[in-house]
Chains A and B, each alone.
Chain A
């Protein structure tokens, strides 16, 4: 079977590549070893929250900050793709998200400060359906914890928010009475809130507390599929506003995005094979012709393509494997830019961690290059997402943004058949 574009990796970068390629009318397949990191991450798409990383001022206008970054830091993935590409990826995503029934809101012109499960405020650009809800503007707020959930504690959230926002924030525990004999994580709880009686239970508990006219901050567990309806019901019956706070993994918000995005791409004709690693590649004369995945019975299935997007997710996604000395890129054995030491002294340092900066170096066409010479190692392979070198997503708050922007650009370049001549 031969495809125009073969995307390796089913995270946000891989999805974004597939979106760009399928929009250009290409025959696309996504192959991946497993599910991507959206299932752990918040579901927010952060573009740039802090720049430089050591500042204590969150970025207010990401687009403006990105302009600075692109000119000052040429090794950063954003600099490789440039501002116009970043904007294109956002527009394409916002449009697609509407079509997939999961409307995201926000823009690159301003960051919104979102409350975290620790009660910090974290700057983000795109977020699901929370349009118009803003903890800075809300007059009265109440943070709601659900006793059955092990990963959310409303009082610390409320008190930390109160200190930063300089206004009173209430905290409240509700117990849904679902004794399943063990603690629940966010995904478990979201499943139970797919059941009508539990939603009614939650509404009744909140009614007795009185949340009218307040902004209710609640962990992101309000159902997996019908969450928007659940929020609408809460808002209309309690006459309040409801905003979900992303929780520790497994992340329900991220799960919703991953699932919706994948269904959407499937409808557009993208094929998926998930669950099998790429174990073999056939590259000759600077081009990749074919990859092979290992299926259940140790059999190899070959997949040929005109062009390939490598979106294997870096160290966490297992696209990069770390050894005591050195780092390996697992699919193509591409050159990896590594650091001498793997770690800094302090975990909470505001300096970028060497291990986060490591990754595959590319040219401006996202083609992998030799670390020393800068020459393209493969001309029809385009690298995207966390596998890229040159940025620390966790400090600058740019993980999903880089995945979206570089993924989209990689997909477009790959859709050009790997011939780069824009």
Chain B
């Protein structure tokens, strides 16, 4: 690696990778560092809704306008990452109908198309919905895959010469006088430390932005806000489902491939890594959800997790749901006189491209670059394209992952975990949650990548542990049964828990 770049971007979420691509498209020499894999922060622990903006029209019209504009652009430039399901807003007989009028007016002002459908018609198309519907509207919501989006942005940037370092943590800054001139890095696997010199740093570390800023002696008022999400084992509805009422807990269902993501909640936390959901949180969420899907509690849950929103309050204002979903570019020079660093905070995944543009627009002039942003004009591509259907030999049947896709996912990678592979291919994300495909993928990589048997055993076991984390809080109903099957296979049948520890001298 060259130890000098123009810009170092911190954070491999939607925002950071979006910034990297924007910089690269303007011909700026740049490096992205991410402490884990791409999209392992909030961009991989979110709802997966490419907002039409309709959710925000009543309270936050400005955000809503940004959403609908970006929604259209992302659908155009990143079709590999979007499933254009469409969305619907449903009001039931228990909801306040005066809100519906305000909402319709807001949609109109924001320029969001709505189409009313009769309760009967929507029930025919979406039979899982409550029969208590009084109003139903279609909006241009869609599902977006945050893993693929970050990977596609990074890939596009790398093709233009940008660099990406994953599993590399920023541990400090080098300053000269009152100017940032380098970033200290630490390799998570080897522990090796390194210095990269640069002209500028863009802090895009989301909920961690306060921590990064502190490393540079800066204070940013980030209020990490935790949201719990659960995954059901099938598509409950074909469209994104929103509850037509003021935004609250448990009011959005997003279909993704073969599953549905439902949530969420909003609770202040002091730790951006607070990403486990408790049984109580899940149960409260399910209670809410039955207003829209009466049979919800009979549907099998396969996973529960949480993400942390990087909410930003410039003046210590509102928190939680009242806080703005707008984003801000913090110019540390203007604030404290520190040169060579900005922080990009707040916002939503849907508006990542806009955030990236604003950030690069701010930085480029300092580097003597006056090229315009063109990120809305060129397509980006998933590093591992979906299987087009010719090859019907699946290693992961739930998500139709082929051996070829596994090969592509680890191309040019020295080290990887099955979780890294999962993020690029959806391996193990379907109804069986990796029970069958983990074994197959571990053994497949052992052979094709020439791994040692110890490394292969670890690859496999780590992934089962990781999947277990997401199911621990929801061990009831069919998921309790599935957990027993998984134990039956990995312990009862394969005896994997003893593989590297048993003493054999019989």
Contact = CB atoms under 8 A, between A and B. Distances in A.
B481 interface: yes
B173 to A, nearest CB: 36
A159 B488 CA distance: 23
B267 to A, nearest CB: 20
Contacts of B494: 116-118, 120, 122
A118 B499 contact: yes
B468 A324 contact: no
B442 to A, nearest CB: 8
Contacts, number: 161
A116 B493 contact: yes
Contacts of A40: 485, 488
User: How big is the A interface, by class?
Assistant: 35 or more
Interface string B475-496: 1110011011111111111111
B443 to A, nearest CB: 3
A191 interface: no
B483 A248 contact: no
A41 B480 contact: no
A206 to B, nearest CB: 20
Nearest to B460: A118
Contacts of B496: 116, 118, 120, 348
A242 to B, nearest CB: 20
A398 to B, nearest CB: 10
Nearest to A111: B506
A397 B279 contact: no
A41 B484 CA distance: 12
Given A136-B506, A151-B439, A346-B468, A120 B498 contact: yes
Contacts of B440: 150-151, 153
B480 A315 contact: yes
A58 B505 CA distance: 10
A347 B464 contact: yes
A348 B461 CA distance: 8
Contacts of B393: 150, 182-183
B502 A121 contact: yes
A56 B498 contact: yes
Contact of B493 (A117, A153, A349): A117
Between B439, B477, B498, the greatest number of chain A beta carbons within 10 A of the residue's beta carbon is seen for B498
Contact of B506 (A60, A122, A181, A346): A60
B116 interface: no
Interface stretch (A81-89, A97-105, A350-358, A363-371): A350-358
A343 B503 contact: no
Given A40-B485, A151-B439, A164-B504, A181 B499 contact: no
11 contacts: A37-B488, A118-B460, A118-B494, A121-B495, A324-B283, A343-B468, A348-B491, A348-B497, A349-B497, A350-B497, A394-B491
Interface of B: 279, 283, 392-395, 436, 439-440, 442-444, 446-447, 452-453, 456-457, 460-461, 464-465, 468, 472, 475-477, 480-481, 483-499, 501-504, 506
